[in-house]
Amino acid sequence: GDTLYYRFTSDMSNTEWGYKFTVTAGHLGRFQTGFEILKQMLSEERVIPHLPLAKIWEWQVGVACRQTGHQRLKAIHLLLKIVQCSTQGDCDLTLLKPLWQLFTHMENNSCHDAAKPGILLPLHRALAELFFVTENRVTELGSLQEYLLALNTEDHLHRCTAQ
């Protein structure tokens, strides 16, 4: 089930240490369970105002940076949902810098890979959508310049200016 009720009743003798409980989730793995719960919570408009989006955002960016494969794709999916439902100040978008660097690296490599023109890997597509939506969101909020400056390194900005 999704609920656990318990009640402690002391005999007031103060002679024993007490009780210790360990509660674990069902058969799904920790990542999958967390993903499903957070996905459902972010799908409920009435729940979103009660969520600590800034903390969830920070945690989820870290998850997306650490995970690989399908788990990374799922983490990026949740980041996309958070960006879409966030308001000004909910998310520190500068935390996306490591994912931006991964994306730009993939972009640079796809330009050099003439063997498969026009085909993007699922991760590349997911990151492209995340950054496209995020860029539109910061444009709506009027902070595009600050966002772009925060994601790029000074060296990258110098190279772009030189080009």
Two structure tokens written together for 59: 């945690």
The model's confidence at residue 78, banded by pLDDT at 50, 70 and 90, is very high
Question: Region 50-58: what's the mean pLDDT?
Answer: 91
How many whole angstroms separate alpha carbon 3 and alpha carbon 14? 30
Report residue 161 as tokens: 């200016």
Whether the full predicted model's pTM is greater than 0.85, yes or no, is no
The chain-wide mean pLDDT, for the chain, equals 82
- Helix ranges, the chain (H): 30-43, 53-66, 69-85, 97-112, 122-141, 144-151, 154-162
Q: Tell me if 75 sits within 8 A of 60, measured CB to CB.
A: yes
pLDDT at 7 over 90: no
Q: What is the pLDDT, as a whole number, of residue 108?
A: 81
How do residues 86-127 score in pLDDT, each as one tens digit?
877 778 888 999 999 899 888 888 765 555 555 568 999 999
Where in the chain are the domains? 30-152
Q: Is the pLDDT of residue 21 over 80?
A: no
Higher pLDDT, 144 or 123: 123
Q: Got the DSSP string for 85-114?
A: H--TTSS-GGGGHHHHHHHHHHHHHHHH-T
pLDDT in tens, 147-158: 888 888 777 777
CA-CA distance, 86 to 57, in Å (whole number)? 10
